[in-house]
Amino acid sequence: MPNHNIIDEVQINNLLQTCNKTDNQIIDDILQRALELNGIDLGDVAYLLNIEDYPNLEKLFDTANKIKEEIYGKRLVLFAPLYISNYCSNNCMYCGFRVENKELSRRTLTIDEIKDETRYILSQGHKRTLMLMGEHHKNCSLGYFIEAIEAVYSVKDSKGSSIRRINLEIAPLTDEEFKKISLVPIGTYTVFQETYHRETYKTMHPSGNKSDYDWRISTMDRALENGLNDVGIGALFGLYDYRFEVLSLISHAQHLDRKFNIGPHTISIPRIRPATNAPASQNIPYQVSDRDFRKLVAVLRCTVPYTGMILSTRESIEMRTSLFNLGISQISAGSRTNPGGYKQAFAKMEDESQFAMNDCRSSGEVIQDVISQGYVPSFCTGCYRIGRVGEDFMDLAKPGLIKLHCLPNALLTLKEYLIDYADDETVKLGDTLISTEIENIPQEHTRNKTIQYLQRISQGERDLYF
């Protein structure tokens, strides 16, 4: 697939140059349109990305906050990553797993080790995991990966809980491979383009399968043509001008929406972190400042109001906290980025990790903090399990109907967490939050049913959802 169908570099550069006036009236009109929750067009996005002055930035943040509140309310979905192999034949200049990092201890987890890691993730209260690995056809094949998925689902902890949803972030697959993996019960399949800027892409990916820009950017087309129906995209911020990357992410989302009537379920916005023997992570070509990072999150929230936005532990506690208000809807917690890392604790992380984390708190600490700030940690996996994915999900999400399910499901899964995994302090804070948030369920019928479900959970039932 020729790249120009998806990313039009000339158009994006033109927009960035022409839509660069800080005209209060123009910005006010765009933000007013954004509040209608139908998204805004690429020119509008360029204007917002070019905001430099404090008063307009504040207006942008305020608008993003209103949109976040309107669509997502106070819920925040939680997940934990599960790295199963750090072998990789690619040479991404920013990544600790790159083939030229000869100092990295490489390993692919055995099925038993994967089950051990799953037990640890479950013991932290998680129900949703994101499975990742490098790209190495000999040491981590697709067949092995499918076995690994089955192994994760097979584990039950002492509370009778198991992982209810596995999302994937693995190298782009072929048509045949997508057909195979579409037969396995997975959630969202995510691949980051890293940078949408072709020239930069070339220098950052000098060898290996990943050096082919067109192969990577056409991944989601192949996925949706071959049986998958739930995909996520992302860019690695710091490789090129963040404004170019945001306009490209939106162009990519619009392309998928036009062609398949399924936009991306999620957009991820990782910023580069230090990694061993990865030159572009030590000397970041286009470092994104904290202020610009907040701006880009707010712009994305205004532009694709119904698309989930994921933030990882690459960001600091302070940054994560400040972005909940501006549009983040999913976060990872208590993460390890080395295979086997949950069992080993922190001892060997330095040697085998993909990159250094910033928020190193345990899941329990993150969850208690999230609750203290008035957000509802959600372990919900309802949509995927009822089959509310792909077009069906979009049909509900676009008119704003999805929130009718999300808040009740968030409260039900939080209640399970409080009973099964939380310490006394978190239980106190969590139960108070549940009582307050029940009142925010708009429909009386659903509110009453949620109260009944909460009672049934207190009496020992699990996995009740709408």
**Which spans of this chain sit near ligand SF4 (rule: CB under 6 A)?**
88, 90, 92, 95, 97-98, 134-135, 210
149 binds, among ligand SAM, ligand SF4, none (CB under 5 to 8 A by kind): none
Strands 376-378 and 75-85: parallel
Judged by CB under 6 A, the number of residues near ligand SAM is: 21
191 binds, among ligand SAM, ligand SF4, none (CB under 5 to 8 A by kind): ligand SAM
Tell the smallest beta-carbon distance from residue 235 to ligand SAM (Å): 8
CB-based contacts of 55, cutoff 8 Å, min separation 6: none
Residues 254/5, Cβ–Cβ less than 8 Å: no
Strand partners, 82: 131
Tell the smallest beta-carbon distance from residue 285 to ligand SF4 (Å): 16
CA atoms of 94 and 282, how far apart (whole Å): 8
331 binds, among ligand SF4, ligand SAM, none (CB under 5 to 8 A by kind): none
Tell the smallest beta-carbon distance from residue 99 to ligand SAM (Å): 12
Q: Find how far residue 282's CA is from the centre of its chain.
A: 24
Q: Residues 44, 117, 177, 194: which binds ligand SAM (CB under 6 A)?
A: 194
User: Buried b vs exposed e over 63-97: b needs ≥16 C-beta within 10 Å?
Assistant: bbbbbbeebbbbbbbbbbbbbbbbbbbbbbbbbbb
Residue with Cβ nearer ligand SAM (354 or 409) = 354
Residue with Cβ nearer ligand SF4 (231 or 406) = 231
* Amino acid symbol at 446: T
CB-based contacts of 450, cutoff 8 Å, min separation 6: 408, 411, 412, 438, 441
Does 354 help bind ligand SAM (rule: CB under 6 A)?
yes
Residue with Cβ nearer ligand SF4 (92 or 429) = 92
192 binds, among ligand SF4, ligand SAM, none (CB under 5 to 8 A by kind): ligand SAM
Q: Residues 252, 314, 336, 415: which binds ligand SAM (CB under 6 A)?
A: 314
Q: Residues 39, 187, 264, 270: which binds ligand SAM (CB under 6 A)?
A: 270
272 binds, among ligand SAM, ligand SF4, none (CB under 5 to 8 A by kind): ligand SAM
- The candidate with the shortest Cα–Cα distance to 167, out of 251, 107, 248, 82, is 82
Tell the smallest beta-carbon distance from residue 283 to ligand SAM (Å): 12
Residue with Cβ nearer ligand SAM (120 or 355) = 355
CA atoms of 420 and 234, how far apart (whole Å): 34
Span 219-238, contacts to ligand SAM by CB under 6 A: 236
Does 332 help bind ligand SAM (rule: CB under 6 A)?
no
Residue with Cβ nearer ligand SAM (97 or 421) = 97
98 binds, among ligand SAM, ligand SF4, none (CB under 5 to 8 A by kind): ligand SF4
Does 171 help bind ligand SAM (rule: CB under 6 A)?
yes
Strand partners, 191: 233
Six-digit token string for 292: 């610009």
Residues 250/203, Cβ–Cβ less than 8 Å: no
Number of Cβ within a 10 Å radius of residue 158: 9
User: Buried b vs exposed e over 385-424: b needs ≥16 C-beta within 10 Å?
Assistant: eeebbbeebbebbeeeebbebbbbbbbbbbbbbbebbbee
Span 78-97, contacts to ligand SAM by CB under 6 A: 94-95
Outline where 218-304 has alpha helix (H).
219-225, 242-260, 279-282, 290-303
136 binds, among ligand SAM, ligand SF4, none (CB under 5 to 8 A by kind): none
Number of Cβ within a 10 Å radius of residue 292: 16
Residue with Cβ nearer ligand SAM (72 or 189) = 189
CA atoms of 117 and 111, how far apart (whole Å): 10
Residue with Cβ nearer ligand SF4 (94 or 244) = 94
- SS3 (DSSP) at 46: helix
168 binds, among ligand SAM, ligand SF4, none (CB under 5 to 8 A by kind): none
Q: Give the per-residue contact string, 104-133, with ligand SAM (x = CB under 6 A; - = no).
A: ----------------------------x-
204 binds, among ligand SAM, ligand SF4, none (CB under 5 to 8 A by kind): none
Residues that bind ligand SAM (CB under 6 A): 94-95, 132, 134-135, 169-171, 191-192, 194, 236, 270, 272-273, 275, 278, 281, 314, 354-355
